[in-house]
Amino acid sequence: MTPLTKGTKENGLALSANMKGALLMTASMTSFTVNDMFVKLLGEHLPFFQLLLLRSIGATALMFLLVHRTGTLIWPGNAKDRWLVLIRGLAEMAAAYFFLTALIHMPIANVTAILQALPLTVALGAVLFLGEDIGWRRFLAIGIGFVGVFLIVRPGSDVFSVYSIYALLAVVAVTIRDLAVRRLSPDIPSLTVAFAGAFLILLFAAAGAVGTDWVSLRPMDWLWLAGSIVMIIGAYLFSVSAMRVGDIGFVSPFRYTGLLAALVIGALVFREWPDTLTLVGAAIVVATGLFTLWRERMASPDDPGSKE
């Protein structure tokens, strides 16, 4: 095999991995957003921990059947991987609490717009904690992106509330979750990682439900609950797989597909539409994220200056 042929095949494999990661991330974000719709509908009259526990029971049970049937319930033998699975699960638990609480009390498009900062925070986290290298242009883009987040949140304005802070804390939690997945050994099954996260959320929901006054579910609630369970399982699996396939700089910006889904669902289902400043802020965040993607693709390993 000539060097040219070998290089071409390697580039083709890399492109295939990136495209697979992009498709998985798109599927994950769409599943998360549809799940958010069901949760928001249920949250209009169900107590939070009742809702979370019912969804967690169904999701964890179905996920256990999956890992048992496929034989992928494998506890990591490496201590580092065990800690990473635990950290990832705890971050997932924190993200579920902060995000779902914000979702129930905020317009779906607004809270989703705040989460669009994730590609920026993950890229920054990869530099700070994983030793990845980016140049000054991408650092500048990340800073501008955070200005966009400020326009969405707007402390002191009518759109700002404690639930805006909850949404920001969810961003931090999901960033930790995704960075932990990146450090896992490749031989740890994605189903095992997803099941561990779902199980920790189940334990958290059960503890919170102890002091909750439960209410009766309506017939439609059962359909919404079933839809939420199916969507969240798909979202977990797609999310774990996406962050383990392809370049993090290529895959992460495809989270923006979730914002498109949230805008459509908000308008059609909840009759909500973000105000102009929120849309401007979301556009800035998306644009800076796409810029970091472009710089990542333009960067050449043989040209350090191109990584600026």
Percent of the chain with pLDDT over 70: 89
Q: Is the pTM of this model over 0.85?
A: no
With 70 as the cut, is the pLDDT of residue 8 above it?
A: no
pLDDT digits (tens, 9 = 90+) for 240-270: 788 677 776 677 678 788 899 999 999 999 9
Rg (CA), the chain: 20
pLDDT digits (tens, 9 = 90+) for 56-74: 998 899 889 888 888 888 8
On whether residue 225 sits in a domain, the answer given is yes
- Domain hosting 171: range is 19-307
With 80 as the cut, is the pLDDT of residue 289 above it?
A: no
Number of structural domains, the chain? 1
Comparing 126-130, 171-175, 211-215, 294-298, the range with the smallest average pLDDT is: 294-298
With 80 as the cut, is the pLDDT of residue 132 above it?
A: no
On whether residue 5 sits in a domain, the answer given is no
On whether residue 3 sits in a domain, the answer given is no
Average pLDDT value for the chain:
85
On whether residue 14 sits in a domain, the answer given is no
12: left (phi over 0), alpha (psi -120 to 50) or beta: alpha
On whether residue 172 sits in a domain, the answer given is yes
Token output for 218:
């309506």
Q: What is the pLDDT of residue 42?
A: 95
DSSP for 59-125 reads HHHHHHHHHHHHT-----SSHHHHHHHHHHHHHHHHHHHHHHHHHHHS-HHHHHHHHTTHHHHHHHH
On whether residue 212 sits in a domain, the answer given is yes
With 90 as the cut, is the pLDDT of residue 123 above it?
A: no
On whether residue 171 sits in a domain, the answer given is yes
With 50 as the cut, is the pLDDT of residue 9 above it?
A: no
On whether residue 83 sits in a domain, the answer given is yes
Q: For residue 179, count other CB atoms closer than 10 A to its CB.
A: 22
Please state the rounded mean pLDDT for residues 6-13.
46
Please state the rounded mean pLDDT for residues 195-201.
92
